[in-house]
Amino acid sequence: MGLRERKKEQTRRTIEDAAFRLFDERGFHATTVADIAAAADIAPRTFFGYFPTKEDVVFCGFGDSFASLAAALREREPGVTTFDALRSFIIAMVAEGPEADPHRDVRLRLLADNEALASHESHLLGRFEGLIGEAVAADLGDEDNDLRPRMVAAAAVAALKALQPTDHTKKRPLDDEGLAQLDEAFAFLHGGIAGLQERRATASAG
């Protein structure tokens, strides 16, 4: 990677750090793009060369997470189900230390009292759902208008959301209780699929 790209990456980090520091101190709304630019030693106009909107700074790590989940689902060994891959992914994600996402705590606080940011997050989680849904659909054998993959994906993301620790300092890696909850979640998904399978068998028999 050339010096050019390294420098750009570094500037991006600088902007993120400056932004999150200010968001933490003053809140999202009370921090202007001009403030962030000043704190990061760039021209206000330059900010938009790095992030399309102020909101996008808050979700800067999302692209990587998305790519990482996509890779995990795509590159799983034959025989490993989407559920298995997902389970591992969730465990790994929750186990990650503050290094992986140094802004998580601040972000959670921002999301808690800013509707617009919460909306943005819902949307991004929706992208996760799409990814999972596709993988599940592939596992189940594609059918037109099949609701199952979508429901499974939605439920899985709901579980992921709920397992996300609210506070970075607490239970990381997933403790026994968390692990038990995760297994319950997957039992729910398996059970749902099984329930349907049974219902279909009965229907075609009757």
3-state helix vs strand vs coil in the chain, percent to 5: 75, 0, 25
Query: 115 burial class (0-12, 13-18, 19+ CB within 10 angstroms)?
Result: exposed
173 binds DNA (CB under 7 A): no
115 binds DNA (CB under 7 A): no
Residue 193's binding partner out of a copy of itself, DNA, none, with CB under 5 to 8 Å set by partner kind: a copy of itself
Helices 62-74 and 115-140: crossing angle in degrees, nearest 10, is: 10
Our CB check for a copy of itself shows the closer of 13 and 123 to be: 123
164 binds DNA (CB under 7 A): no
* Measured distance between the N- and C-terminal CA atoms of the chain, rounded to whole angstroms: 64
Return the ∠ at Cα 82 (arms to 176 and 172), rounded to 5°: 25
Residue 52's binding partner out of a copy of itself, DNA, none, with CB under 5 to 8 Å set by partner kind: DNA
Residue 19's binding partner out of DNA, a copy of itself, none, with CB under 5 to 8 Å set by partner kind: none
Q: Do residues 173 and 91 make contact, with C-beta atoms less than 8 angstroms apart?
A: yes
Shortest distance, CB of residue 123 to DNA, whole angstroms?
14
Residue 9's binding partner out of DNA, a copy of itself, none, with CB under 5 to 8 Å set by partner kind: none
What residues line the site for a copy of itself (CB under 8 A)?
A: 115, 118-120, 122-123, 125-126, 129, 145, 147-148, 150-155, 157-159, 161-163, 177, 181, 184-185, 187-196, 198-199
Our CB check for a copy of itself shows the closer of 42 and 155 to be: 155
CA 45 to chain centre: 29
* Cβ-proximal residues to 21 (8 Å cutoff; 6+ apart), any chain: 39
- Subset of 43-102 contacting DNA (CB under 7 A): 43-46, 48-50, 52-55
